[in-house]
Chain A
Amino acid sequence: MRMLRSIPTLAACVLAFSSSLLSAAPIDLNDGQHAVHLPDAPKRVVVLEFSFLDSLAAVDVTPVGAADDGDANRVLPRVRQAIGQWQSVGLRSQPSIEEIARLKPDLIVADLNRHQALYSDLASIAPTLLLPSRGEDYQGSLKSAELIGKALGKSAQMEARIQKNRENLKAIAQQIPAGASVLFGVAREDSFSVHGPDSYAGSVLEAIGLKVPSVRANAAPTEFVSLEQLLALDPGWLLVGHYRRPSIVDSWSKQPLWQVLGAVRNKHVAEVDGDSWARNRGVLASEQIAEDALAILKGGKAVLSQ
């Protein structure tokens, strides 16, 4: 009798299990390092770089956790608006493994450059994608975004967004003075690093038809330069992101030699938001950079993204 009574419960369980099996769509992909198998489209995602947050924002996915250096203000404002709140899992350079495990993610997206050494720890928590982010250029970051779209089961939505991004940049390229030489650099207290044509910001500027001077042949994406080297580069426009004030550019600008720069004489020096331009990469970041560049080159003044 008791057995008979438990039959409906058993049947319900079997039904529920089989229906979940039917609705689950396993995703298999390769991040270039490892084959990753996801039993279903992930619901609890943890990302360890700002560019991956950008990719999630592009397809309206909110992560459960993100490495944000404990300072959400470093993330591009439009990315923050798109995805809302997340739980911080510490520094991008040293994310907290315990914090990540506590969030019980079903997908982790980590940076190939920064987090390779953590891969086995991360993979033991959840399937982990190791994608290039730091030092990645515009085209490379779109490829990573495509892969993230696939991992989230939102390939079509991501492809449409990337297509829209290409159109947006093309529209900006048509309005901007083509071939103008523009150099973006990050100023700290005692150093100035310029972002060359292979850097993220540099490659976006080139994508909208601007010319980015290079410190030397085969230069790294970002290179530290002295005032003497900056004078030799002599860009038509100089865009500066200050990480700290007073920065080295503040002290250079008080020197008489600063006036030798063509950009200074023509009042073509502008300030941009260092976080948006140097720390963020991805679909939304590229649009922010392109829009800022357009506003500055057309209006001739600084535009700070808020």
Chain B
Amino acid sequence: MQRSFAAVGILLSGAGLFWLSLYSWSPFTLTATDAWNGLVHQGRVGGNMAYIVAQLRVPRAVCAALVGACLGLAGALMQGITRNRLASPSLFGVTAGAALGLALFSTGLVAPPFAGGALLMTCLGGALAWFTVFSLGGAWSPTTAQGRLVLAGVAVAALCAALTRLTVILVEAQAQSVLNWLAGSLANVGAAQVQLLWPCTLIGGLWALWCAPRLNLINLGEDAARSLGVGIASLRLQVFVASLLLVGASVCAVGPIGFVGLIAPNILRQFLGNDYRWLIPLSATLGAVIVLGADLLSRAVAFPVETPAGVVTALIGAPFFLFLARRAL
């Protein structure tokens, strides 16, 4: 019952924020009618304002929701496989690694000469960071303290940030562009980003749902899960690939937006417990709610100039992490 209430509440607030983000904080005077005409009639009726909603606001809101869903899913998956409540793409350095991959790509230092090179470099950067964190942090050892993995994550994230900075300094011509993108902004997203995000979110989301029952068993302990027929190594690999796809796509589309993967599953745990069959779909929904809200706030803070949504999530996420770390460590 509590789960259904939570699900309905999150879905309703997501729908509300999606609707608001179609017409609020615009330099034009957009109305709810423009939003309706833009969303339902794709701007074919209602003049220029509805057209602006259809061409700019709808793709932006869809992008925000998809990015949030990707990060929420990745956070839930990472927490499930490591049985560590502090696990998340940003704390494990995956976001910073992905950002480094994309910085190398966009400055032209390492640029595979084929389509999809950006997504590949982002995923490779994330994969390398994750692999390093898990090796340093002794992730698979049952005796490892939770804090060790987080420390390894923080160290690798700092290393990736330093290397990204070095990349920016070496190729100063693109510096400003990369710095903007590193702040994680939804200001200039459009149909192209939606095209990149939706297949990755769909594949990653279905994959995560498929892993959910086995993540529940892992939660009982690896020995118990193994005795119940769960292939631990295969599950780890699947979660690894699915998370990378989700984080890679979101970083590639809008830059690194931190803490969503940490916040969403942990809030839900208070209501839903550790059942990943519920945690995974609702983490995606709550992630979408958080990024939609952050994007709205980012437009409101210095209106009509926009601040990056990544800054807003970091402002909310950092105290949340400290609160969680006090309880979990």
User: Which residues of chain A have a CB within 8 Å of any CB of chain B?
Assistant: 69, 71, 91-94, 188-193, 215-216, 219, 223-229, 231-233, 243-244, 248, 251, 255-257, 260
Contact = CB atoms under 8 A, between A and B. Distances in A.
Nearest to A74: B173
B135 interface: no
A188 B188 contact: no
Nearest to A69: B172
Contacts of B28: 228, 231-232
Interface string B289-319: 0000000000000011110000000000000
A215 B177 CA distance: 20
A114 B133 CA distance: 36
A228 B169 contact: no
Nearest to A219: B305
A228 B52 contact: yes
21 contacts: A69-B172, A94-B169, A188-B174, A188-B176, A188-B177, A189-B177, A190-B188, A191-B177, A192-B188, A215-B304, A216-B303, A216-B304, A223-B305, A227-B56, A228-B27, A228-B52, A228-B56, A229-B27, A244-B177, A257-B51, A260-B48
Contacts of A223: 305
Contacts of A243: 173, 177
B181 interface: yes
Contacts of A192: 188
A219 B175 CA distance: 22
A224 B186 CA distance: 12
Given A188-B174, A255-B190, 13 more contacts: A93-B169, A94-B169, A190-B188, A216-B303, A224-B306, A228-B57, A232-B304, A243-B173, A244-B174, A257-B52, A257-B55, A260-B51, A260-B52
Interface residues of B, number: 27
Contacts of B303: 216
A227 B188 CA distance: 7
Contacts of B144: none
Interface of B: 26-28, 48, 51-52, 55-57, 106, 169, 172-177, 180-181, 187-188, 190, 192, 303-306
Contact of A189 (B55, B56, B106, B192): B106
Nearest to B180: A191
Contacts of B173: 69, 71, 243-244
B30 to A, nearest CB: 9
A191 B174 CA distance: 11
A251 B188 CA distance: 11
A191 B185 CA distance: 10
B169 A248 contact: no
Contacts of B55: 255-257
A215 B187 CA distance: 15
